[in-house]
Amino acid sequence: MDCEIVVVDDCSIDGTRQFVETLCDEMYAREDFRLIYYRNSENSGHAATVNIGVEKSSGDWIKFLDDDDYLAPNCLEEMSKAITLNENAAICSCVAAQVDQDGVEKSRTPQLGPGKAYYIPQADIHYGMLLEIIPFGTPVQVACRRQAFLESGGWDISMTSCDDIDSWIRISKFGDAIFLNQCLAYRTQWDGGYDQKIAYLKRLDTNILMKEKIYALVDATHSQKIPKLENIRSYLKLHWMLVALKNKNIRTVVKIFEPAILSQSACWLLISALLIRRWRHQNTQIRKFILIHS
């Protein structure tokens, strides 16, 4: 592939610097300048490091990759083919396998729509994200047009979680989306990982914030069938209350509970989300039914 690799080192102490600088020297001696290495002067965090990586790059498209994840050998090739067929695309995602520390596959994210590549017009993206029909996923799954990333303002360095989702929301304002129904990415799940330590109430607040941002961007063509924002908030509270109850976190259940979350609309949104997660890759008609009746 005609591409460059940008490695941004956020002050690692595992030998990354020596390894990559040696590799750069070997490549540069062959007049191969496709590998770019940059080391932060101080630990700057995930979002800031991603922004630096995009700044140091020069390609038309960016493929994100965190250091503990990896790609299928044909990932860039398949994404490039799909992107070539839609000049208006701004973001591209794919199916990902969740693997443990030993590389053993635990699960896969679901497919989206029919065919090998599913194209989503820009006007439909945020409505689909709002109803959780369109899940772009984590950085290992996603590529985006560099100009769209820059125009969207990059990753928000003030966020401690969902900084990637927040970015996908804004990037999606600038073009169509592509979803590849192929497993082209592998995400490592660590026991006791950071995302597992975030309190339920914090996850709920972040979840609501993301939905509010998406809601504000839903295209006017969906205005007649978009759920009310208060019903979406109630659905999210109901979801996280049930998660806390399942994990016997009664204190959180008490803090979240309020009569409004038991409304018919909130319960229907919860049921819709569960159906979509279970059958998204199996039955297109179910997805259409939920779109119409939400």
Domains of the chain: 1-43 (no CATH), 45-188 (3.90.550.10), 197-293 (no CATH)
- Can you tell me which residue has the tokens 């319960």? 267
What percent of the chain is predicted at pLDDT more than 90? 73
Question: Which pair of structure tokens corresponds to residue 88?
Answer: 């208006």
Coil, strand or helix at 8: strand
What is the rounded CA–CA span in Å between residue 127 and residue 189?
Answer: 29
Contact in structure between 286 and 267 (CB atoms under 8 Å): no
Indicate the pLDDT class of residue 265, thresholds 50, 70 and 90.
Answer: confident
Q: Which of 6-20, 40-54, 145-159, 269-283 has the lowest mean pLDDT?
A: 269-283
> Residues near 254 by Cβ (< 8 Å), separated by ≥ 6?
none
What is the rounded CA–CA span in Å between residue 49 and residue 30?
Answer: 28
Check pLDDT > 90 for residue 114: no
Check pLDDT > 80 for residue 254: yes
Most confident of 43-57, 179-193, 242-256: 43-57
> Average pLDDT in the 242-247 region?
91
Indicate the pLDDT class of residue 289, thresholds 50, 70 and 90.
Answer: very low
Contact in structure between 53 and 135 (CB atoms under 8 Å): no
Q: Which of 224-233, 244-253, 267-276 has the lowest mean pLDDT?
A: 267-276
> Residues near 106 by Cβ (< 8 Å), separated by ≥ 6?
97, 98, 99, 100, 189
Whole-angstrom CA distances from 141 to 79, 157, 212 are 10, 21, 24
**Residue 4's closest CA among 62, 47, 77, 91?**
62
Position 190 scores a pLDDT of: 84
Position 193 scores a pLDDT of: 63
> DSSP letters along 128-139, please?
HHHTTS----SG
Indicate the pLDDT class of residue 280, thresholds 50, 70 and 90.
Answer: low
Question: Which pair of structure tokens corresponds to residue 129?
Answer: 């994200």
Check pLDDT > 70 for residue 47: yes
